[in-house]
Amino acid sequence: MTKSFGFYCTRFVIYNIAVILAIVAIIWAAHTFMLDLAARYFQGGSGSGMGVVSVIVPAMLVAQQFYKHEQRRMTAGEGWFMAVVFTLLTFAVSAVMIGVGTLIVPLTDGERGAMADMWNNDSQLLMMIAGGFAVFLILVIKLMLWSGVRGEIKKAERLAAKAARKG
């Protein structure tokens, strides 16, 4: 690799944080300036699809960076390794963002008690859900890495064909 694996991990974290902050800004602006629209799209979990964007966009951007720097497809091992590491980084960034969020808007005593009760009584269920979600994230990130590299290859082929026609 011409760039280190750490380079791509750092890019993924930066893109992930930027996308999360953009999503928070969009939701805040909608709740502040367009309350009707916000109530329609962000109540009842319908806005949770935006959370998927915070996984899809960084993976695709990193894949595009990979192809631009390496000028080749990812090997299967590289793709799966990146997907696993990016999943772990996604969990870490999410944990930090949740921590920062609870510092800004502290949990009430009832919420804190409900979380402690859930952790003490349903910890196995929570671990199974987290494991299933991790597998889902690995598959989605791997798909987006493949799709991002594939898109860059097609873009390069189109540009080469266009240059050959002009040439």
Its pTM stands at: 0.85
Tokens of 2: 């011409």
**How would residue 44 be classed by pLDDT, with cut points 50, 70 and 90?**
low
Higher pLDDT, 32 or 81: 81
The pair of structure tokens assigned to 13 is 């974290």
What are the extents of the domains in the chain?
5-166
Ramachandran quadrant class, 43 (left: phi over 0; alpha: psi -120 to 50; beta: rest)? beta
pLDDT, tens digit, for every residue of 98-137? 899 889 888 899 988 988 888 888 889 989 999 999 999 9
